[in-house]
Structure 1
Amino acid sequence: MSLQPTLAVVEATRFRGHDPAYHDYVQLLVGNVIAAANEDGWNVRRLAADAGTDRLLEATADVDAVVIVGGEDIHPSFYGAETGYANESRHLPEADAAQIALVHRALERRLPLLGICRGLQIVNVALGGTLVQDLGQECDHVNRGVPIPQVLTTHTVLPEDGSRVAELLGSGPVPVRSAHHQAVDALGAGLVVTARSHDGHVEAIEHAEAPVLAVQWHPEDVAAPAGQVSALLTALAPQATRVPALALA
């Protein structure tokens, strides 16, 4: 019997036959998360949310922590908006619903959870928040019109003093790698903004009471600062279930 804690790494889907280049790059990023978690002593269980809510909740019933990784845009119906916006990706509503249900259960159980890119947006939407649907053609959070491996761009974020992300990565400015055209608009219930980018967009959120932390960037990218994804994974350590992720003054 293994004494290793079990970490569920949950992606939206394992199949993107319509876009092999994007699929391959997502798999590289997910693989980097898994490799870092294995090095840190986790028994990793890789899951795809498009299998449906019931199957995802069943497959994560006994895990010790969860990472929700990047992927496609969340369907706007989950945050009260419409389709037809600029740079819209394909949508996977079944995966959205399953990941949202997983966030709700993690909060109920005080299960440590880390959201990455889409994962941050899932956390926010799950708690009633909304999204800026497109940051515009001139935003420097994603490179447009380039091959998929070149879409990530480098910028800085400034963590809030006293936040979990500042504890893990320093008070900043922190260099990060990102590739997102959406961002938090209205903040979900119980969430606190704990880092912003140089242009003011939300880049990290934490729950005020539960051990939930989410970042809008990709700490697992090959060009991210060394050790950044491992540092964030420490927020999922088993003791996190007994200590709030953020202590409010």
Structure 2
Amino acid sequence: MNALAGAPRLAVVEVTAHRPDQPAYHAKVQTLVGRVLSDARQGGWQVSRHAAADVTLAALLEATADADGIVIVGGEDLAPHFYGGQGGYEGETRHYPAADEGQIAVVRRALAEQTPLLGICRGLQVINVALGGTVDQHIGDGGIHRNAFVPIEQVLATHAVTLHDDSRLAGIHGGSTILVESAHHQAVARVGVGLVPAAVAPDGIIEALEHVSAPIIGVQWHPEAPGAAAHHLPLLLQALGEQVAAESVAA
């Protein structure tokens, strides 16, 4: 792909553009989102950025309606009522219900319209919840999935994930095991309708989901992290672009 006019349009949907009470966390999120934006542009996408909590549901859907592909990036926990859960759990973060509602609606429309979509970390949880799945609200602080009780700059942990042999992710990465960077305290519990696990961590936690028929993939790790393998995010964005091209031909 190239960046000329007529290149595919990618909508990157984040939680919010404003976290004045959490400057360190917000700065970390901006670094991660910035990597998605820059790698997408280098890959030839026309990129737009949308903060789901900062606009109405209707405005978010209108702003992303002409996107050829979508990336839902990381952020805070989803509000529990979206998956039938209760608040007050260990490690609970601030919630942005408007962002949850908007991103869930974006996923459901992408499924209905067969729009290629990639979810990263929280984005995986949004995909799962949008399709009827649930969330393990706190997987503990002593595992491999994040460095707990450290400054936000050090929270990302490195660990292996095993990609299922028949998954699209295995084809994208050209192998069955990769090292990833993650920073999550929640995980997939019940898998949503139409989704199948595509990767698993050594402790058995689901690390990726794929839709059985729609071009939708979610990964629990952060391919956009500074310490992640440099080729992981470009590979995922390239695969998204290939799905866009395939959907265009099919149409």
* TM-score, scaled to structure 1: 0.95
2:154 aligns with 150
Partner of 1:93: 97
Aligned partners of 2:104, 2:167: CA distance in 1, in Å? 24
Q: Which runs of 5+ in 2 are unaligned?
A: none
SS of aligned partner of 2:217: strand
Distance (whole Å) between structure 2 residues aligned to residue 243 and residue 168 of structure 1: 20
In structure 2, distance between residues paired with 1:29 and 1:137 = 22
Q: Which amino acid aligns with 2:32?
A: L
Distance 1:5 1:197 in 2: 33
| RMSD between superposed Cα atoms in Å | 1.3
Partner of 1:65: 69
Q: Provide the residue aligned with 1:181 in structure 2.
A: 185
Match of 2:164 among 157, 160, 184: 160
Query: Per-residue displacement from partner, 1:66-114 (whole Å, max 9, x unpaired)?
Result: 0000000000000001000001000000000000000000001000000
- Which amino acid counterpart does residue 45 of structure 1 have in structure 2? S
Identity %: 53
Supply the distance in 1 between the matched residues of 2:249 and 2:123 (Cα, whole angstroms): 22
Deviation readout 1:112-150 (Å, 9 max, x if unpaired) = 000000000000000000010001121220111111110
Q: Is the 8 A contact 1:211 1:240 kept in 2?
A: no
In 2, the alpha carbon distance for the partners of 1:243 and 1:26 equals 35
**Quick check: 1:239 aligned with 2:245?**
yes
C-alpha change, 1:7 and 1:136, in structure 2 (3 Å) is: same
TM-score where L is the length of structure 2: 0.95
Q: How many residues are aligned here?
A: 244
Instruction: Give the Cα–Cα distance (whole angstroms) in 2 for the partners of residues 243 and 222 of structure 1.
Output: 35
Task: Confirm whether residue 47 of structure 1 aligns to residue 53 of structure 2.
Answer: no
**Which residue of structure 2 aligns with residue 197 of structure 1?**
201
Partner of 1:104: 108
Partner SS state of residue 125, structure 1: helix
